[in-house]
Structure 1
Amino acid sequence: MDATLLVKAAVLGIIEGLTEFLPVSSTGHLIIFGDLLNYTDDHSKVFKIVIQLAAILAVCWDYRAKIAEVVGGLGSDRNAQRFSFNLIVAFLPAAVLGLMFYKIIKGYLFNPLTVAGALVVGGFLILYIERRAYHPRLETVDEMGWKEALKVGFAQSLAMFPGVSRSGATIMGGLLFGLSRKAATEFSFFLAIPTMLAATAYDVYKNWALLKMDDLPVFAVGFVFSFIAAMVAVKAFIRFVSGHSFAPFAWYRIAFGLFVLLSWQMGWVSWNGE
């Protein structure tokens, strides 16, 4: 096994784990850094599915107590039933639109330059939302109704455009629709579980022929690093949002996106998505 390929797997695994649940677009970062590391072949498609699954499982582990409480209370607990219903309602817009536009999105939008543009635009939108008057009506995810959940679900569907950021769209949507920072962030994490599991399953189905046993060591390295990085990122992010705005992530998006566009314009990097 090529040691260089294992290093690439570790780097991309860390990037996926650190960015999946932050409002900076993990998909966008994987597209850009995958291109930069020259890991863009067919096997890389399956690799990205594997490390995304690792990030999902990290959140499942981190919120295992809440998940167990909801699952255990589905038969009798009204809060658990409402919470589950809200997740289903929020999941539907992206599920339906994703099935409708999967080929178009994968075929035309997955390149570094469109991602860079989306990072910049998304960064300015975060700054705009942060500067609005902020008066949360709902302090916890248990206080949400189906209308708020549906609105957040439509916000999440914007993240089908790579570079927008699924977590960024859902968190910012949550803030606009009256959720507290912590509630918006936690609902984004919970909504990621069915959304990303469904997307992962669909991607595996579409790329089943690319699965090879020879790739197992590379996938295993990426999986482990992604899982660990996601665990660290989720815990740190929850602590951060309790007392800070999302402006630092907005400025990071803008700076990173502009740097990618500048590197293309100046010819410093020959992006394959050009």
Structure 2
Amino acid sequence: MDMILLLKALLLGVVEGLTEFLPISSTGHLIIVGSLLDYTDEHSKVFKIVIQFAAILAVCWFYRQRLVQVVSGLGHAGAERQFVGNILIAFAPALVLGVLFHHTIKTYLFNPFTVAAALIGGGLLILYIERQPRQPRFNTITDIGWREALKVGLAQTLAMVPGVSRAGATIMGGVVFGLSRSAATELSFFLAIPTMLAATVYDLYHARNLLTVADLPVFIVGFIAAFIAASLTVKILLRYVATHSFTVFAWYRIGFGVFVLVTAYTGLVNWN
């Protein structure tokens, strides 16, 4: 097995795990790092699906006790059923719009200028939101009603535009609609499970002809790296949001957006 290829898989797995749940666009980072590592062939597309699945499982593992509690309580009316209902309501807009516009978005919006504009615009929006005084009305996910869940779900659909960041859209959307930072972040994590799982299954189905046994070692290395990195990111982010704003991520997005434009203009990164 090519050790260089395994090292690339390791680095990309770490990048996926570190960026998937931060409001900084994991897609943009994977494009840049993949291009710099010269790992942009057809098999790399399947690899990115695999490491995204690893990130999903990391969230499931982190919240395993909560998920077991939710599943065991579904048979009884109460907070657990309301919790699942809120997640499903928030997931619905992305499911519907994803099915309708997935191909169009991949065809027309996947370019460096769209990504850069989304990164910079999203960064400016985060700065604006963070400067607005607001008092949270909901401190836990079970406190919110279906209207708030739907609003956050609609905010998540903005992440269909490359560079917006699913985590950024859901977290900041939650904050705008009255959730505390911690509750908005947790909602983003739980909402990621059905959203990313659906996207993974959909993409993997369409890329099934590219699956080969020879790629298995590369996939395993990337999967493990993404799982570990994502597990650490979730834990650290929850601690961070308890006492900090998202301003640092906003400035990072703006700087990263400028970097995208520079790499596209100079040809340093293959954005195709």
**Equivalent position amino acid for 1:178 in 2:** G
The more displaced of 105-114 and 9-18 is 105-114
Question: What is the letter of the counterpart of residue 271 of structure 1?
Answer: V
Residue in 1 that maps onto 2:114? 114
> Can you list the C-alpha shifts for 1:47-95, whole angstroms capped at 9, x where unaligned?
0010000000000000011111110000014100101011110001011
Match of 1:74 in 2: 74
What is the total number of aligned residue pairs between the two structures? 272
Letter in 1 for 2:270: N
- Residues 24 and 253, structure 2, Cα contact 8 Å, conserved in 1: yes
Indicate the residue corresponding to 2:165 in structure 1. Answer: 165
State how far apart, in whole Å, the 2-side matches of 1:273 and 1:228 are. Answer: 28
- Distance in 1, matches of 2:185 and 2:89, equals 17
Query: Paired residue for 1:139?
Result: 139
The aligned counterpart of 1:260 is 260
Query: Which letter maps to 2:262?
Result: L
Q: CA–CA distance in 2 between the matches of 1:132 and 1:43? A: 45
Name the amino acid aligned to 1:72: S
Runs of 4+ in 1 over 3 A off after TM superposition: none
* Distance apart, 1:11 and its partner CA: 0.7
Following the alignment from structure 2 to structure 1, what is the Cα–Cα distance between the partners of residues 41 and 118?
23
Deviation of the 1:118 alpha carbon: 1.4
Amino acid aligned to 1:12: L
Structure 2 residue aligned with 1:130? 130
Deviations 1:190-233 (CA, angstroms, capped at 9, x unpaired): 00001111110111111111111110011011000000000110
- Structure 1 CA distance for aligned equivalents of residues 169 and 96 of structure 2: 17
Deviation, 1:248, is: 0.4
What is the rounded CA distance, in whole Å, between the counterparts of 1:224 and 1:218 in structure 2?
A: 10
Structure 1, unaligned runs of 5 or more: none
Gaps of 5+ in 2: none
The whole-number CA distance in structure 1 between the counterparts of 2:150 and 2:123 is 23
- Tell me if structure 2 keeps the 8 A contact 1:112–1:273: yes
2:53 maps to: 53
Counterpart position of 2:206: 206
8 Å CA contact 2:86–2:145 kept in 1: the answer is yes
Q: What is the deviation of 1:152? A: 0.2
Counterpart position of 1:272: 270
How many Å separate the matches in 2 of 1:7 and 1:222?
Answer: 9
Q: CA contact under 8 A between 2:94 and 2:156: conserved in structure 1?
A: yes
Q: Are the equivalent residues in 2 in contact too, given 1:59–1:231 (CA < 8 A)? A: yes
* TM-aligned CA deviation for residue 120 of structure 1: 1.1
Cα offset, 1:108, TM superposition:
2.6
2:113 pairs with 1:85: no
Q: Which amino acid aligns with 1:76?
A: H
Q: CA RMSD in A?
A: 1.2
Shift of 1:262: 2.4
Give matches, 1:147-158, under 5 Å: 147-158=147-158
Q: Distance in 2 between matches of 1:108 and 1:93?
A: 21
Q: State the identity %.
A: 63
The answer (yes or no) to whether the contact 2:58–2:231 under 8 Å persists in 1 is yes
Please, what TM-score do these two structures have when normalized by structure 2? 0.97
- CA distance in structure 2 between the aligned counterparts of 1:63 and 1:110, rounded to whole angstroms: 32
Q: Which residue of 1 aligns with 2:174?
A: 174
Counterparts of 2:230 and 2:271 in 1: how far apart (Å)? Answer: 27
Conserved 8 A contact 2:109-2:161: yes
